[in-house]
Amino acid sequence: MKTVILDKPGSFSLVNRPKPELNRPSDALVRIRRIGVCGTDLHAFKGDQPFFSYPRVLGHELGVEIIELGQPSPGIKVGDFCSVEPYYNCGLCAVCKQGKTNCCERLQVIGVHEDGGMCEWLTVPLNKLHPSKSLPLEHLALVEMLTIGAHAVSRAHVVPRNKVLVIGAGPIGLSVAQFVRLAGADPIVFEMDATRRRFCQNFLKVQRVLDPSGEPIEKLKQALGGLPDIVFDATGNPTSMQNAFNFAGSGGTLVLVGLFIGDLSFSDPEFHRKELTLMSSRNATPVDFDYVIRMLEEGRINLNPWITHRTSLDDIADTFPTFLDKNEGVVKAMIDV
């Protein structure tokens, strides 16, 4: 089978590997049909992705077709189209037993800690498959991306009365803004790139999308009559993440959705003066996958405008570097397999 390997930062190779065999009854053999290109993949290509080693087969945003089941499983059957939950948790540690499978002490994420889905065939645990009878494969491939935003918004307990700021309108920031709106709040989005600002306004229907250059705190106060209750930083940029502490109002919550390699610092007296709540948000849970798929099936989210670029496994070495070019206007790239 065709398999794309990221041998080292900036270097892909296309090889043929044997088709995997279905050896465990708890697994399914799936045919990879669509692969979303994630920010994690882009950072791995650049060489600045935490928790990463080379060589690695990327790919964790997957739309797949079930070819064979190791054993009968309620709710899924051969031929079903599914999204893959790529977070392989142990089920035995304390946090798994609390239902926080997204931050399992032994968590392995396919495409990050172990080889992922930039290939034609894959074996996947049955309990990591989320089927849909109506969604197209390319939308199922983007479910995982949306669950990141859904989980972050759930963590922050957003309600309609909240004043919410989302920093960064890349795919993860867009997904956060999407679920803030579904929670009934009207977010403000900070984004420096004009193309992303237009996308956020035109397709997500977020009215207040601002360039944070200049005096961002004054812009927030003018737009909200004060500082926000909840701030999400989805940039993965250390300067932005440190500045985000200044944007949350007294008694507010700051959720760091993006991450980077390094340390953050902030003013402890100011942190205490405001009595801020600081949260991280990591991955997502099965509940988030079910919620996102339901929202898509109900037509509450339109993913068609998100997919701006396409490529194939054969062409990935040539096309992948272009996804890093801001002039290309990439929102989401899709690999057709």
Q: Give the chain's domains with CATH numbers.
A: 2-142+303-336 (3.90.180.10), 148-280 (3.40.50.720)
What band does 242 get if pLDDT is binned at 50, 70 and 90?
Answer: very high
Question: What is the percentage of the chain residues whose pLDDT exceeds 70?
Answer: 100
| Average model confidence (pLDDT) across the chain | 95
* 49 confidence band (pLDDT: 50, 70, 90): confident
At 326, the pLDDT band (50, 70, 90 cuts) reads confident
Q: Which helix (H) or strand (E) holds 122?
A: strand 121-125
Position 64 scores a pLDDT of 98
pLDDT of residue 303: 95
Instruction: Using the predicted structure, report yes or no on whether residue 260 has a pLDDT greater than 90.
Output: no
Whether 317 shows a pLDDT value over 90: the answer reads yes
Q: Could you give the 3-state DSSP secondary structure of residue 147?
A: helix
Is the model's pLDDT at 158 over the cut of 90?
Answer: yes
Place of tokens 């990439």: 330
Is pLDDT above 90 for 55? Answer: yes
Residues 312 and 335 sit within 8 Å (Cβ to Cβ): yes
Average pLDDT over residues 121-137: 97
d(CA 90, CA 78): 26
pTM, rounded to two decimals? 0.95
Nearest-10 Cα torsion for 171, 306, 43, 31: 120
Return the pLDDT at 193. Answer: 93
Q: In 3-state terms, what secondary structure has residue 25?
A: coil
Confidence check: pLDDT of 150 > 90: yes
Rounded-to-integer distance, Cα 155 and Cα 229, Å: 14
Distance of alpha carbon 139 from alpha carbon 133, whole angstroms: 12
pLDDT at 287: 97
